[in-house]
C-alpha cells in the first residue's frame, strides 16, 4: 500500500446486531493486511448473550450517543479509514462522512437518512412488531425468530436463519426505530440529518440487496438521489439476497466488492502542513 492508501477499515453494525455480525468480514480483511475496527454502540461492548439477558444498555441508547462514540474511535486514527456500515450502521456511516470522517464509505442495505420518504410496505411490516405496543416506549424490544426471518434472512435455509438468529440477534431500541419512521413528520433537523450538498464528503457507495424486506432497494436508491453536491461520488449497486448480506452465503463477494470500490474511489488525505 502507498502512504495515501487507507490501511484501516471501520465496520459499523446495525440494529438487532452487535459487532459479532462482522466476524467474517473482520477476519477476511485482517488476512488481507488491514487494521479492522468493529466498534460497538456505547454500552454494547458485552456479548450477545449478555445483552439478551439484560438489554438495559440498548434501551439507554440514542443516535447522538452512538455517533459521538463512533467519532471518538475514528478521531485518533493517523489516516482517514474506509468506513462500512450495515443497516442502521449505513445511516451512521453517512453521518460520519458528512461530519468529515473517512476516505470512502460503503453502506450495505442502509437505513435512510433524514428526508428519504420511501417507506415500502415490507419495511413497515418488518418494524411493526417493535412499534405496535405503546407500552414498549423507552424499552429494548426483541424480535421473534419468525419476525427476524422476514426482516433479515428471507429466502435462506431454515438452518442458516436459525443459526444467525441464535448467534447474532439482540433486542432493538424501540424509540430510535420509531424516530426513524416518524422523523420526516417532525419540524427541524432530526438525529439522522446530513447535508446532502456537502461538497467535501468522501465517496459513498450503496450496496443493496434485491430481496431485502426491511430496507428494500428503493430506499437506497432514493437516499442516493438526495445527494446533490457537485464533484462528489455517490453510486448504487444491487446484489442478490436479503437484508443480512454480511452473514449469509455470498458475503465474501460482497466484502471484496465493497473493499475494491472503496480503494478505487478513496479520497486522498490532505497534505501535511
Residue 72 belongs to a domain with what CATH number? 3.40.50.1820
Give the cell for residue 192: 439522522
Instruction: Report the C-alpha gap between 145 and 78 in whole angstroms.
Output: 42
pLDDT at 119: 77
User: Could you give the strand order of the β-sheet that contains 234-239, starting from the edge strand earlier in sequence?
Assistant: 35-37, 8-12, 82-86, 104-108, 204-209, 234-239
Instruction: Report the C-alpha gap between 90 and 105 in whole angstroms.
Output: 9
Whether 108 maps to a domain, the answer reads yes
Q: Which of 72, 11, 81 lies closest to 267 in space, CA to CA?
A: 81
pLDDT at 120: 77
Cα first-last separation, the chain:
22
Band the pLDDT of 250: cuts 50, 70, 90.
very high
Q: Are the C-beta atoms of residues 82 and 266 closer than 8 Å to each other?
A: yes
Instruction: Report the C-alpha gap between 107 and 116 in whole angstroms.
Output: 15
pLDDT digits (tens, 9 = 90+) for 37-93: 999 999 999 999 999 999 999 999 999 999 999 999 999 999 999 999 999 999 999
125: pLDDT strictly greater than 90: no
Spell out the residues 6+ positions from residue 159 whose beta carbon is closer than 8 angstroms to its own: none
Number of domains in the chain: 1
Q: What is the pTM of this model?
A: 0.93
268: pLDDT strictly greater than 80: no
4: pLDDT strictly greater than 90: no
State which H helix or E strand residue 173 sits in. strand 172-173
Q: Which of 115, 237, 132, 206 lies closest to 174 in space, CA to CA?
A: 132
pLDDT digits (tens, 9 = 90+) for 134-156: 777 889 999 999 999 999 999 99
Whether 229 maps to a domain, the answer reads yes
Instruction: Report the C-alpha gap between 8 and 28 in whole angstroms.
Output: 13
Whether 2 maps to a domain, the answer reads no
Side-chain half-sphere exposure of 80, counting CA atoms within 13 A: 22
Whether 271 maps to a domain, the answer reads no
189: pLDDT strictly greater than 90: no
Quote the domain boundaries for residue 237: 8-265
216: pLDDT strictly greater than 70: yes
pLDDT at 134: 78
Whether 15 maps to a domain, the answer reads yes
Output the average pLDDT for the chain.
92
Whether 3 maps to a domain, the answer reads no
- In 16-157, which residue ranges form alpha helices assigned H by DSSP? 23-31, 48-53, 56-59, 63-74, 88-98, 121-131, 145-148
Whether 156 maps to a domain, the answer reads yes
Whether 270 maps to a domain, the answer reads no
By CB atoms closer than 10 A (0-12, 13-18, 19+), residue 249 is: exposed
pLDDT at 269: 56
User: Is the alpha carbon torsion for 89, 91, 92, 97 positive or negative?
Assistant: positive
Amino acid at each position: 500500500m502507498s502512504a495515501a492508501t487507507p490501511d484501516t477499515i471501520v465496520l459499523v453494525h446495525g440494529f438487532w446486531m452487535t459487532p459479532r455480525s462482522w466476524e467474517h468480514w473482520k477476519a477476511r480483511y485482517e488476512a488481507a493486511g488491514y487494521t479492522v475496527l468493529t466498534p460497538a454502540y456505547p454500552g454494547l461492548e458485552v456479548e450477545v448473550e449478555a445483552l439478551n439477558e439484560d438489554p438495559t444498555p440498548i434501551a439507554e441508547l440514542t443516535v447522538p450517543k452512538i455517533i459521538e462514540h463512533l467519532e471518538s474511535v475514528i478521531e485518533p486514527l493517523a489516516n482517514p479509514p474506509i468506513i462500512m456500515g450495515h443497516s442502521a450502521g449505513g445511516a451512521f456511516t453517512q453521518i460520519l462522512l458528512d461530519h468529515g470522517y473517512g476516505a470512502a464509505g460503503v453502506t450495505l442495505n442502509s437505513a435512510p437518512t433524514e428526508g428519504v420518504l420511501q417507506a415500502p410496505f415490507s419495511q413497515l411490516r418488518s418494524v411493526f412488531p417493535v412499534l405496535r405496543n405503546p407500552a414498549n416506549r423507552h424499552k429494548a424490544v426483541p424480535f421473534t425468530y419468525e419476525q427476524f426471518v422476514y426482516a433479515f434472512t428471507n429466502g435462506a435455509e431454515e438452518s442458516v436463519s436459525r443459526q444467525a438468529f441464535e448467534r447474532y440477534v439482540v433486542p432493538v431500541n424501540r424509540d430510535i426505530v420509531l424516530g426513524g419512521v416518524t422523523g420526516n413528520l417532525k419540524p427541524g433537523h432530526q438525529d439522522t440529518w446530513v447535508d446532502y450538498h456537502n461538497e467535501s464528503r468522501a465517496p459513498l457507495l450503496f450496496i443493496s440487496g434485491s430481496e431485502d424486506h426491511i430496507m428494500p432497494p428503493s430506499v437506497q436508491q432514493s437516499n442516493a438521489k438526495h445527494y446533490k453536491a457537485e464533484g462528489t461520488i455517490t453510486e448504487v449497486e444491487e446484489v442478490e439476497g436479503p437484508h443480512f448480506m454480511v452473514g449469509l452465503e455470498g458475503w465474501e463477494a460482497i466484502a471484496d466488492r465493497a473493499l475494491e470500490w472503496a480503494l478505487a474511489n478513496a479520497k486522498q488525505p490532505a497534505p501535511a502542513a
